[in-house]
Amino acid sequence: MSSTIGLGEFLRARREHLRPEDVGLTDFGGRRRVAGLRREELAGLAGMSVDYYTRMEQGRVKNASASVLDALARALRLDAHESEHLHRIARPVGGSGPTARTPRPARQTVRPTLGRLLTQLSEVPAMVLGRNLDILAWNPAATALFGDFGELPPAERNMIRITFLQPRSRELWANWAECGRESVAFLRREAGLRPHDPRLAALVGELSVKSPEFRTWWAEHTVREKTSGVKRFRHPLVGRLDLTYDTLRSGDDPNQALVTYVAEPGSPSQDALRMLLSWSATPVG
C-alpha cells in the first residue's frame, strides 16, 4: 500500500472520530451529512487551506512538512503515539512506492537474555512476543493460564490471531473487547513501522475477512503501544483473575518483548493464581 493512501485513510478516520464539541466548535448547520468534523473545519483548525488538506486526505501530497503534520496532530487531538504514527506514514524513511520495499524480515528467534529471564519465572505467567504479536516462547505458568500454545501449528502462534479467531479467548478474557481493541491498535502501529511486511499484510487480511470486530476496529486507525495494563480472566478452573501485564523490550532487538502477568499481592487473584499453578504442577496419574 502506498504511504500516501495510508495517510489519507488515517486522516479521514481520525477526522470522523472527532465531534465539533470535542474541538470547541459550535455546529449551527443543523443535521450534519458527514460523521465527525468536516474537511473545512479540520483545515481551519490546522491553519491550512481546504484544498491542501483535501489533497492530503486523497493521498495526493507526498512531502508534507513536519510543521504541517504537527498542526494536523494538534487539530486532530492525537496523543504521542498517534502523532508519531502520523509522521511515520506521511514521511516514511526511504520513501514509498514499488522501489521502496523493506527487506523480508528475518526468522524470529528468542533473544538469549529474554530466554534466560523466561526460564527463571516459575510463579509468573510469561511469554516472549515478537513482531506482529507472534508468540515465540512461553513458560509453564503461561500454559496453565492460557493453554498450551505448543498444540497450535507454529504459523498460528500469534496473540492477536488467537484473540479474534479462537472462541475460547472470548470466554477466557472477561474484558475481551478491551483486549481486542488494544491489540488492533498495537498492530496498526506495527503496520506503520513495517508497511511492506508481507506476513503482517497476510495477518491483517485474514483477520479482516474472518472477524467483523477486527475489521471494524482496524478501520478506526487507532494507534497504541502495548506497555502495561490489566487483563481480567474468567479461568475455567479458578474463576476470576485480575492480572497486571508489563512489557520488557529487548535492548538489542526492540521487536521482541517479555510480557509478564502478575497479581496484586494479597489479593484474591494472587490466591487463585497460586492455586492454578499448584494444580498445574501436580503430576496426573
Check whether 109 has a pLDDT greater than 60. yes
At 6 the pLDDT is 83
Distance, CA of 114 to chain centre: 21
- Give one DSSP letter per residue of 243-275, joined into a string: EEEEEEEETTEEEEEEEEEEEPTTSHHHHHHHH
Instruction: Look at residue 31 in the predicted model and tell me its pLDDT.
Output: 63
For residue 94, pLDDT beyond 70: no
**Residue whose C-alpha is closest to residue 263's, from 253, 278, 274:** 274
Tens-digit pLDDT profile for residues 219-263: 999 998 878 889 999 999 999 999 999 999 877 788 899 999 999
**Residues in Cβ contact with 228 at an 8 Å cutoff, skipping those fewer than 6 apart:** 244, 245, 246, 247
Whole-number mean pLDDT of the chain? 87
Residues 6+ apart with CB under 8 A from 265: none
Would 3-90 and 112-281 be classified into the same CATH topology? no
Distances (CA, A) of 264 to 81, 244, 247, 259: 28, 8, 17, 16
Q: Are 142 and 127 spatial neighbours (Cβ–Cβ below 8 Å)?
A: yes
Find out whether 39 and 15 touch, Cβ atoms under 8 Å: yes
Looking at residues 146-165, what average pLDDT do you find? 95
Report how far residue 151's alpha carbon sits from residue 107's, in angstroms, rounded to the nearest whole number.
Answer: 21
Which of the listed CATH numbers 3.40.640.10, 3.30.450.180, 1.25.50.10, 3.10.180.10 matches domain 112-281?
A: 3.30.450.180
Q: Quote the CA–CA distance of 136 and 163 in Å, as a whole number.
A: 16
For the whole model, what pTM was predicted? 0.79
3-90 domain in CATH 1.10.260.40? Answer: yes
- 266 CB-contact burial (10 Å; exposed 0-12 / middle 13-18 / buried 19+): exposed
Domain boundaries, the chain: 3-90, 112-281
Task: Report percent pLDDT > 90 for the chain.
Answer: 60
Place of cell 528468542: 110
Is the per-residue pLDDT at 102 higher than 70? Answer: no
Hey, what's the cell of 10? 488515517
User: pLDDT, tens digit, for every residue of 17-50?
Assistant: 888 887 777 664 556 666 688 899 999 999 999 9
State the alpha helices, DSSP H only, in the chain: 3-17, 39-46, 50-57, 66-75, 80-90, 112-120, 140-146, 159-165, 167-172, 176-193, 198-210, 212-218, 268-281
Whether residue 97 is predicted with pLDDT greater than 80 in this model: the reply is: no
What local confidence, expressed as pLDDT, does residue 99 receive?
A: 41
CA-to-CA distance for 70 and 220, rounded, in angstroms? 20
